[in-house]
Amino acid sequence: RMRKGVDEQLWKTGDVPLAIYRHAKSAYVREREGKKSFADSLWLGLANATIFPAIRKKMIGSKLKALICGSAPLNLETQLFFMMIGIPVLQVYGLTETGAICTMDVPGSFEPGRVGSAISGIEMKLAENQEILVRGPNIFPGYWNRPEETRNALRDGWFHTGDQGEVNASGNWKITGRIKNLIILGSGHNIAPEAIEEEIASRLPGTQVVLVGNGRSYLSAIVTGSVTAESVQTALNDVNATSPHYKQVREFRISSEPFTIENGLLTANGKLKRDLIAQRFRSEIEEMYAVKQAV
């Protein structure tokens, strides 16, 4: 929302500020890709001296030095936007059952898109299905009067978080999705939909994307918002070009009505109610699998 407000305000302002902002945004992307040119350095230097301080002051004042994000997934584009204008965004990861955080970004040496390494005293590992398991003195003893759920969550001394993730050689963790949200294709491929949905939505501002395909031959998408079929197809082509065949989205349908708390398709925390969405759009989903065979 803040990013959109900044973009809209600069579009209204136009002229030199807009030109500096647009060039600096493109230069920052190339810098992240390791392709920064001398001209890019000039544009970023100019923006850092003029536009970015003005944005920071108007958005959040002059005293904020950093932001810490937890509780819900942080869009990588949002994190990079704040970093671009000079506000580091650190991430932490934890659950109610872990008492507090399990990981934390280290200021000055964190990787965007990841949630940092395990904090002192906490052990973390991946199960065979890439579920994140946690062990330590912070883990809860069990759910009140729910022995079966407790047995499922606490096994062999490890708490099964229900989150799917990965960890790199530096020990920095990344949350890739929820185990319960996995889409299992008819081919047996297990796919975490969240990352793909985010990639598609990032190319279609103002939209929501949900993938379907459990037990089917391929993935399909439901996209909400004021978008054209051509723009959605272009976004899918971009994402599909860098994805293995089983992660490519072959079909889609557009809904003008967004997923909201009011229409029952989002939780109070703004998360997708995937089962209800699948029920609400059952006919559209059946159409998508009637029109095409898997390639």
**Domain residue spans in the chain?**
2-61, 89-177, 182-290
Helix or strand or coil: residue 222?
Answer: strand
Tell me if 180 sits within 8 A of 162, measured CB to CB: yes
What single letter denotes the amino acid at residue 76? L
SS3 content of the chain, % helix, strand, coil (to 5): 40, 20, 40
Q: What is the pTM of this model?
A: 0.75
Tell me if 96 sits within 8 A of 72, measured CB to CB: no
Q: What is the CATH number of domain 89-177?
A: 2.30.38.10
The sign of the torsion formed by the CA atoms of 119, 122, 123, 127 equals: negative
Q: What is the CATH number of domain 182-290?
A: 3.30.300.30
What single letter denotes the amino acid at residue 39? A
What's the rounded Cα separation, in Å, for the pair 295 and 293?
6
Cα angle 205, 211, 217 (rounded to 5 degrees) comes to: 140
Write the DSSP string, 84-129.
Answer: HTT--EEEEEE-GGGSSEEEEPPTTS--TTS--EEPTT-EEEE-TT
Residuewise pLDDT in 10s, the chain (295 residues): 677 778 788 888 778 888 999 999 999 989 988 999 999 999 999 999 999 998 888 887 878 888 999 877 788 888 999 999 999 999 999 999 998 899 999 988 899 999 999 999 999 999 988 999 999 999 999 999 999 999 999 999 999 999 999 999 999 999 988 898 999 999 989 899 998 999 999 899 889 999 999 999 999 999 999 999 999 999 999 999 999 999 999 999 999 999 999 999 998 878 899 999 999 999 999 999 986 544 4
What's the rounded Cα separation, in Å, for the pair 215 and 208?
23
89-177 and 182-290: same fold?
no
Residue 286: alpha-carbon gap to chain centroid: 27
